[in-house]
Structure 1
């Protein structure tokens, strides 16, 4: 079955990473820390989407990847892992169920102040309290105390591309109100137009995930041949294309974290979400000034996403293209390739 490694090594460790792309990337430093602490261990990372398997293969720790499906769960349970780590955020009884089915001898997870669904008693043999820190540190706390936080990394070689090259990701997941994280399309279009006017020879790549092609095409319409929509590529190729960019501007999304993980200077645009949790590693998180209700998705009450009470999403509408351009302009200079060997 896909990604299930042969048994081996003195220890068998399992990372259960069943969230989205960004969450998987933010778990990478914890996987790397486990490899450093247990160099001879057989480490498996369990993911929920087949598209993520090649990305796990690009983790510097060189672990194995497994896809969540019934046959894989049975095979992994038979491996009798010594320790499983249920990565953050997992504020849902479905994560508890998978953890219990996999049946590691020691099962490590978080203790959440607010549970979204009924807890399955006895799931974890060790619980770590959710702390007011970023997601990288939340995951590191599962592996051990006092571990130094490092930025997520992927082993990626940049694709060939023009220079200077501005990458834009105007989308995000729309599941569970996450579409509320999107900066207005008109703002993105104004930013691209300003960049083309200000930077001689600039090329702009508009990255579109599944279902985002129309959004990207609408932003690109009429802006000329130096604006190209990038869609339909496997995630590893997307990572290589992001690594070729001089700078990337994105909503708080998986592609934002992917760009940061391959070493590209990244500007993240934040509205309801809290950059204290998910700012792009090594990059810049921008928020609209003077919006008292933002961020409204609490750091500690993970999974609580109240609807916006305003007709306009003030936290994003009031973050102007001029403010974003002021942050992007100095980053549109060539940067050395940051691929991890």
Structure 2
């Protein structure tokens, strides 16, 4: 049986954006070919609901992050390869893969097929749209503009038990991801704004849950001392999706939880400042992006220079966020 390889190594938000495209490739080829996904170990669990997809994972960093996957790829004799990553590392894998058909968003070597203008059409630079142009270049059906992230019964019961423990069963609740990676502190809204917003939401009868991982823990503990419940490191990726399905809406920074919650089908109000929302907003949530226009945004600086006073997010008021939520009829 011929084999197809999809390469999508990370990061988490990018993997979630690409999941509908991976599903399309899997469904198109699975009847006649064996379809594999090469990804990082920490993302393999996201694909448990993809029944016809075989998973191979290697670490994204370190000395073995290139040599070992290349050796594995060559040993499998793939005929068709889709590079949904587009990094220097993945291009090297493609170049040495031995595959006859090699699809990617770059032009020329190592790809045999690519969409015009690297998939950018009518100024649409979001990766979801560009990956659809890549599917078109392969004569495949494009992915629907709706997120896809499966979560089964096991995740539902974990979440239900946690909610019962916190006396939240039957409560209307909202999720807030206030943090960011340690490298990207410039993505964070100021704590006073989060507290103001959470206080108003609780006054409306909503339970506020602060979500995140290890890097968010200290911030969430600090916020929860004032209001809300700290759920740092309480859930796996799929459990967070299961939790999101029970929330009325969520408020996040530009972060991986933004994409997870959107993929669960829950409304997400996303706060953008130093990064370009047009490139990385959650799929299906474009109208819920919140920004404050300043000349230096997007700057892509992990730390805001002192003289700029973080105005892209400081001047984005809680009142503006609340007005957007009310306009959607969710308050």
TM-score normalised by the shorter chain: which range applies? 0.7 to 0.9
Aligned residue among 241, 244, 255 for 2:243: 241
Tell whether 2:84 aligns with 1:94.
Answer: no
Instruction: Normalising by structure 1, report the TM-score.
Output: 0.78
Aligned to 2:114, which of 119, 122, 127?
127
Secondary structure of residue in 1 paired with 2:114: strand
Q: Name the structure 2 match of 1:215.
A: 219
CA distance in 2, matches of 1:29, 1:235: 17
In structure 2, the residue matched to 1:58 is: 49
Contact 2:174–2:247 under 8 Å retained in 1: yes
Give the 3-state SS of the residue equivalent to 1:35 in structure 2.
Answer: helix
Q: Is the 8 A contact 1:165 1:245 kept in 2?
A: yes
Please state how far the C-alpha of 1:171 moved relative to its aligned partner: 1.7
Deviation at 1:45, TM superposition (A): 1.8
Structure 2 CA distance for partners of 1:84 and 1:179, relative to 1, 3 Å: farther
2:321 aligns with one of 312, 324, 332: 324
Note the aligned Cα RMSD (angstroms): 2.7
Give yes or no for the alignment of 1:140 onto 2:132. Answer: yes
Aligned position for 1:68: 58
Contact 1:14 1:44 in 2 (8 A): yes
1:84 to 74, 78, 81: 81
Distance 1:184 1:280 in 2: 21
User: Match of 2:308?
Assistant: 311
With over 3 angstroms needed to count, the CA separation of the structure-2 counterparts of 1:58 and 1:139, relative to structure 1, is same
Q: Conserved in 1, the CA contact under 8 Å of 2:271 and 2:289?
A: yes
Deviation of residue 188 (structure 1)? 1.5
Q: Tell me what 2:295 maps to.
A: 292
User: How far apart are 1:232 and its partner, in Å?
Assistant: 4.2
Q: Which has the higher helix share?
A: 2
The answer to whether the Cα contact below 8 Å between 1:189 and 1:220 also exists between their aligned partners in 2 is: no
Provide the C-alpha distance between the structure 1 equivalents of 2:302 and 2:45, rounded to a whole number of angstroms: 34
The Cα shift of 1:330 comes to 6.0
For the structure 1 residues 76 and 95, does the alpha-carbon distance in structure 2 shift closer, same or farther, using more than 3 Å as the test?
A: closer
Aligned residue for 2:207?
A: 203
Q: 1 CA distance for matches of 2:290 and 2:145?
A: 24
Cα deviation code 1:20-59 (max 9, x no counterpart): 11000111121122234324132222212x2211112235
TM-score normalized with structure 2 length? 0.80
Tell me what 2:172 maps to.
164
* Deviation of the 1:308 alpha carbon: 4.5
Question: Shift of residue 72 of structure 1?
Answer: 5.1
Distance 1:104 1:235, change over 3 A: same
2:10 equivalent to 1:19: yes
Cα shift at 1:332: 7.9
Q: How many residues are aligned here?
A: 300
Aligned-pair CA distance for 1:331 = 5.9
Distance 1:259 1:127 in 2: 31
Preserved contact between residue 175 and residue 209 of structure 2 (Cα < 8 Å): yes
Query: For residue 192 of structure 1, what is the aligned residue in structure 2?
Result: 198
CA distance in 1 between counterparts of 2:328 and 2:84 reads 32
Correspondence for 1:181: 187
How far does residue 272 in structure 1 lie from its aligned partner after superposition?
2.1
* Contact 1:286 1:324 survives alignment (8 Å): no
